[in-house]
Amino acid sequence: MIRIRHKKPECIGCKLCADVAPQYFEMDDEGLAQLIGSSQQGVFQITEGFDEDLEDLEKAEEGCPVDIIYVNR
């Protein structure tokens, strides 16, 4: 499993993560990305992802213009 962390308070709403990994990210009513099915731990939304989705998750992590997505195996 892959651990995914997202620092939603710093999101600027570019939508890249929701476009490249829609199974994990969606845009909320305020136009900010949120991690689907996550729990809140401090400033981070945290969930787990599947190994077969690693490429999409890495694209979201690397493409995030404010570097608020963290993907760990």
Q: What pLDDT score was predicted for residue 65?
A: 98
Domain that holds residue 64: 2-72
Residue 73 has pLDDT above 90, yes or no: no
Q: What pLDDT score was predicted for residue 3?
A: 98
Which CATH number do you get for residue 19?
Answer: 3.30.70.20
HSE of 37, CA atoms in CB hemisphere, 13 A: 8
Any alpha helices (H) in 5-53, and if so which ranges? Answer: 16-20
How high does pLDDT run on average in the chain?
Answer: 97
Tokens (6 digits) for 50: 């599947």
The predicted model scores a pTM of 0.95
Q: Total structural domains in the chain?
A: 1
Tens digit of each residue's pLDDT (9 = 90 or more) over 9-49? 999 999 999 999 999 999 999 999 999 999 999 999 999 99
